[in-house]
Amino acid sequence: MNAVNKNKIIRFENPPQVISFAAAVGKKEGEGPFAAYFDCVDTSPSPDGSWENEESSLQRRALHTALKKGGFSPNDIDILYAGDLLNQSMSSTFGLRDFGIPFVGLFGACSTMALSLAMASVAVMSGAANTAAAVTSSHFCTAERQFRTPVDYGGQRTPSAQWTVCGSGAIILSKERKVQQGGRLHIPDVMLGKIVDYGQKDANNMGAAMAPAAADTISHYLRQSKTSPNDYDAIITGDLGCVGSSLLYELMKSDGIDISSVHKDCGMMIFDREKQDVHSGGSGCGCAASMLCGYFLNKMKHGEMKNILFCATGALMSTTSSQQGESIPGICHLVHIQG
């Protein structure tokens, strides 16, 4: 099959506005260096002891808080885009079912915050929705149980392994309502990434699987937009961690681009790697989501940043594909946010 290897920038003539946003995280994340930026820190276990219900609760709290901060009711939201790492996106389904908002379930693995935000932007600017929400989450115990080994097993973790973040982020976009929380934040364009597979098969080295996709999307965007890394306050990846970030720099430099001076990786930021024993850093949908909705958008709201590229990455694997010896394809979606 012949394929055209070209990502295209989707530009919005009237950029959707970021109306409100919120981040909810778990206890470990609340003990990290960015605890002050998160709206909610959940330190209590689920009443029924279910890790999956705990993750669903994070999504509920994030969306409820974003609605409240923006002065919305659920009836004001036309479409809700959400997803997570679990089979059938069960954390999103059970976490958001009581809101009564038309629901589109997405799977982009750890890229889901960028994917849902891009889809919400397209919906708003196409006229399919006046107001749309983007939500995602992850949870350490639910992800470990599904993709690796049961937590109770106590398996040794490799140095390249990452710690799945217990967290959720929610963002509400609109083109009509006067901005309340977000200041002048808006999304002028997005770029959807393509699947990139370098044959990496180690489920304990997700950074290596995702870095090629990040390099592909970022380099395509910079060339098509005719911009350089220094035009941005930050180029943010979701959860490449230490190993993946180093590989990203190598891949970008081989393409003649150096992003090291403006690159920020949420996985390397959200935990204190010296004190919290997370090996290569944080990972999961909730890693990028909680850092974007907790830290970066607040920095933009207060004028400390004005122009960022949010490039969340995902490893498009499943338990079945791993057991069958398949490689781990990567994806990276990009959302351009200005203030």
Tokens found for residue 322:
């791993």
Structure tokens, 325: 């010896």
Calpha distance 96→291 (Å, rounded): 21
Please state, as a whole number, how many other Cβ atoms lie within 10 Å of the Cβ of residue 48.
8
pLDDT number for residue 2: 38
Instruction: Please give the chain's pLDDT, 339 residues, in tens.
Output: 334 445 799 999 989 999 999 999 999 889 999 999 999 998 766 666 787 878 888 999 999 999 999 999 999 999 999 998 877 887 889 889 999 999 999 999 899 999 999 999 999 999 999 999 999 998 766 666 666 666 665 666 665 666 678 899 999 999 875 555 546 899 999 999 999 999 888 877 778 889 999 999 999 999 999 999 999 999 999 999 988 999 999 999 999 999 999 999 999 999 887 787 776 778 788 999 999 999 999 999 999 999 999 999 998 988 788 778 899 899 999 999 999
Burial class (CB in 10 A: 0-12, 13-18, 19+), 211: buried
> Which domains occur in the chain, in start order?
14-174 (3.40.47.40), 186-338 (3.40.47.40)
Here the tokens at position 37 are 């930026």
Question: Are 165 and 284 in contact, with CB atoms under 8 Å apart?
Answer: yes
What local confidence, expressed as pLDDT, does residue 3 receive?
40
Euclidean distance between CA atoms 243 and 231, whole angstroms: 26
DSSP run (H or E) holding 333: strand 330-338
* Per-residue CA distances from 266 to 107, 130, 284 (Å): 20, 30, 10
Largest pairwise CA distance in the chain: 53
Q: Which helix (H) or strand (E) holds 315?
A: strand 307-315
State the Rg of the chain over Cα: 18
- Tell me the whole-structure pTM to 2 decimals: 0.92
Print the SS3 string covering 125-145: HHCCCCEEEEEEEECHHHHHH
Q: What is the dihedral of CA 139, 145, 146, 148, to 10 degrees?
A: 110
pLDDT of residue 132: 98
Residue 75: DSSP 8-state: G
Of the candidates 260, 266, 201, 208, the one whose C-alpha atom is nearest the C-alpha of residue 239 is 266
**At which residue do the structure tokens 């850092």 appear?**
291
Q: Are 315 and 198 in contact (CB under 8 A)?
A: no
d(CA 98, CA 23): 19
